[in-house]
Structure 1
Amino acid sequence: MSWRMPAETDPHERLWMAWPSGGYTLGETAEDAHEARAAWAAVAHAARRYEPVTMVVRPEDRAIAEAYLDPRVGLLEAALDDAWIRDMGPSFVLGTPTGGTPGDGGPADGGPARLGAVDWVFNGWGQQDWASWEDDARIGGTVAQTAGAELVPSSLVNEGGGIQVDGRGTVLLTETVQLDPGRNPGATKAQVEAELERTIGARHAVWLPRGLTRDSERFGTRGHVDLVAAIPSPGTLLVHVQHSPEHPDHEVTGQILEVLHASRTADGTPWTIIEVPAPAQLHDGEGWVDYSYINHVAVNGGLVACTFNDPHDEKALRILADAYRGRHVSAVDARIIFSRGGGIHCITQQQPATPAHA
């Protein structure tokens, strides 16, 4: 079977999420917990306008989830440690039999693609001392089975937020994630690339040196690419740019832009790069923010985008609307989600439609 991860902008069967269950995501007070639940629900409801949404929820939290969620949001009961489905869940792919010939239902015959689900090894973002992942490490298989997908096991420690694809063989990733000694000790770029080719059909990798500053600190992922760059259409990149020299990400995003300008797609063409300015807010009282408009999710006919009650919100939404032309942009205040360690893209995972359902 030959597997390919479609572009996020390709048609979806549904969007997956996971309900906030405990720990730092829910916070220390009842008000903290309410804020987290309301934020996750707001994303689910925005996405539900465009496509079905299924929320993974711990059995003991089902009644709480039902109190916040529209009944049209489906619920799947399973044990959870946390709520970052992009990272702990599977990366969905489409598969066609290799070596197909006319008449066998394979690619040469126009036969239907099969839904697969790559089950990465999840180890709490590189065995972070604050993370727990015993239950989350099993969610990939649970979601795959429920979706009716063929499980594609992988020995690579990886998270969905650590890769961005164009659906045509290009993958964006960061050296600080896949080559992290806490994830894949001793791994080489060639080894990572070979596994990504086997599992998601990536034949060309663009390696970024690192991710954003806050995301590289103790409670971060050590550099997820989905805070830095997104691919709204083949050959086009949206890139997070910090224009303020006060913020350490000013230098970081300058380095990333330099790498991306020198890179090419899998087809050998240079990117059209669209810079997306970081929010004007630089600090949240705890450190340099990693607020990013890049951490959005495409849905059928729409886009669910982050806002931050920030002077740059309006400009960023205009850039996104232009890049995702023809899609309606729904904005959700993502400050509560970012205060827990991620954004809208981090708490969602798209399941592509197979050709029969597209």
Structure 2
Amino acid sequence: MERNEIIKGRGAQHQVANKFSLHSYEMRDDFLNYCAAEGEEATDPRTSFIDTFPKTIVNKVSSPDVGMEYSLNPYQGCEHGCVYCYARNSHEYWGYGAGLDFEQKILVKRNSVELLEKKLRSKTWKAAPIILSGNTDCYQPVERKLEITRQLLQVFLKYKHPVGIITKNALIQRDLDLLEELAKDNLVRVNLSITTLEEKIRQLLEPRTASIKKRLETVEKLHEKGIPVNVMMAPIIPSINSHEILPLVKAVAERGACGVGYTVVRLNGAIGEVFSTWIRKTMPDRAEKVLHQIAECHNGNLNDSRFGTRMKGDGKIADQVAQQFAIARKRYLPGNERPMLNCSLHEQYKDGQMKLF
């Protein structure tokens, strides 16, 4: 494959060296030329799934500005391939790269369900919302086969425990039956990520996610079943989707979203290299403009780790985004509030059935 050729079906366009690794490698031109002449692939393009068996599954979240206290991720790495994904950096802690490795080497936590049940039965555990997909999407493609997320929802329902979900995959529609039962006791809230209304942009930014049409349909179906659904426009990328704020909020409000939120893109760690390489390949005409505008949102840098400002950015462009969102909420979602999840039932169901006394 030529170095400037776009890798279809992937967000990242190259392997990225793991900063924790003692060794690194690069693809030499003579090797690539040899592979091309022989009709061979220089690397294996297939996704591999690696079974893992962690000791714990519920993670305490210490960050003050991500809106969750506990998270649970049945998978590490994500085949969706969103080029901007903040979770890419976490793949380095598993010994892999944040580029193609993140999309092609998926760690499957096979004992997720048993660990969750053990946690919820613990005498010391006090109910608090646990968010599925605080890091990587619990409804990524392999979930269709493995159904780990569905089994986790069955455990949450059994123990009447509150759960939040973050996803950008319409596969969540498969579990409407469980979500509807959870919603009857105000035990679930869904956060559906919709970054753009333009399908061509979606295919470039998020190559293996559900289509925009399917995601809008998902908002509608969740609402029809009485399941609270909030839409996240995350992230907003200047000069790529920043012009879509009002039409996107209007579209999701018409389909029953109870709220909207957003983040401004930030390219921490290895993501800066992944994103910069990607945009210079896929959008060469506007690449430098976009990168400069992202930096303008973060005090002149592509990355931003400052609590309080890193999620929304600062400066003129970030202020314009905030103003547009304020207008969109006032126009299309006036007075809408996200309901607090119910934490009062779990104590009565700690052994899996309601206590009589």
| Fold shared, TM-score > 0.5 on shorter chain | no
Between Structure 1 and Structure 2, whose CA radius of gyration is higher? 2
Q: Whose strand proportion is higher, 1 or 2?
A: 1
By relative contact order (CA 8 Å, sep 6+), the higher-ranking structure is 1
Q: TM-score, normalised by structure 1?
A: 0.29
Q: Whose helix proportion is higher, 1 or 2?
A: 2
Q: TM-score, normalised by structure 2?
A: 0.29
